[in-house]
Amino acid sequence: MKDYCFGIDIGGTTVKCGLFRTNGDLVDKWEIPTRTEDAGKNILPDIAAAVKAKMSEKNLTADDVEGVGVGVPGPVRHGKVPVAVNLHWGETDIVGILGGLTGLRVCAGNDANVAALGEMWKGGAEGCSDVIVVTLGTGVGGGIIVDGKLVEGAHGAGGEIGHGHATDELAEPCNCGNTGCLEQVASATGIVRVAKDELTKHPEIRTALKDDGGLSAKAVFDAYKTGDDLAEIIVNRFAKYLGAMLGAYACVTDPEIIVIGGGVSKAGEPLIDIVTRYYKEFAFSACKNTPIVLARLGNDAGIYGSAKLVLNA
């Protein structure tokens, strides 16, 4: 094992870059813009230039660098991306192209999966090798780790756990085209959907929540922490959906630990407590005591995980 590796997390507006020691210490991190114009043809050359500039700055040669890991907002199968809408990419052979440009070994994975690997390496699941990470953000994403390795899946859809069927109660479709997905009731926007529904159902309940422009998952959890009765109903409904689905997912891979990340997880321990309560109700007996914890790496999970992807390969 060489001493250094790079972890790159490509987002729709910026590319996060990290230089790591292979023991997991973050040496340096920085960002470059994601140039999506011209079908995103500059993105990989820009990353290659950034990597080479950093190597030069730190006096590193290829002999010092184990490789470059890359997280991509889209499905990845064997180092190739069939399509990444946010980057304006069609089929893109990341490993081939970036490997050619840098002369380094390149590994690539889906960004949500890679972030999960980061949480296993140096985050909320540090020291574990069987993990489910669920990310509650604008959508619900995640990553499944079995025996220390990401489960990529036959179609690059391993860990797409926002799209399990959570409820028959919705009429409107999910972005994925199905109806009743976990994402529709457990993402930040999903929690707002549940909140609006409960506000309509319970005009009689006094609450600080209002269906105006300010209704957000954060507002719901803030109200919940003050003991707001309607927020209690909303958060319990959300947590029941999420707890039941995590229970179902846990009986697939039976993880050592479940990590919750994403913007919604900023609600902190009260979120963990209520989700754990419902998880215990629905999880299989052998899995009931599986700890549910907060993610720890925040926006850096992607660079940690993509670096780890190289070390795992």
In the complex, the residues that contact a copy of itself under the rule CB under 8 A are: 75, 130, 132, 144, 146-147, 149, 151-165, 176-178, 244-245, 247-256, 281-287, 290
Residue placing its CB nearer to a copy of itself in the complex, 202 or 282:
282
To a copy of itself, the closest distance from the beta carbon of 18 in angstroms equals 27
Residues 6+ apart with CB under 8 A from 178: 163, 165
Q: How far is the CB of 303 from a copy of itself (least distance, A)?
A: 25
Distance CA 177, CA 281 (A): 30
Report the alpha-carbon distance of residue 61 to residue 46 in Å, rounded.
19
Terminal-to-terminal C-alpha distance of the chain = 11
To a copy of itself, the closest distance from the beta carbon of 253 in angstroms equals 5
CB of 273 to a copy of itself, least distance (A): 20
Question: Residue 51: which of 115, 96, 8 has the closest Cα?
Answer: 8
Question: How far apart are CB 184 and a copy of itself at their closest, in Å?
Answer: 13
Cβ closest to a copy of itself, residue 66 vs residue 160: 160
Helix (H, G, I), strand (E, B) or coil at 189: helix
The strands making up 131-136's β-sheet, listed across from edge to edge, are 149-150, 140-146, 131-136, 257-261, 292-294
Residue with tokens 């390795």: 149
Q: Which of residues 62 and 286 has its CB atom nearest to a copy of itself in the complex?
A: 286
| 73 vs 162 by CB, closer to a copy of itself | 162
Closer residue to a copy of itself in complex, CB, 109/158: 158
> Cα(266)–Cα(272) distance, rounded to whole angstroms?
10
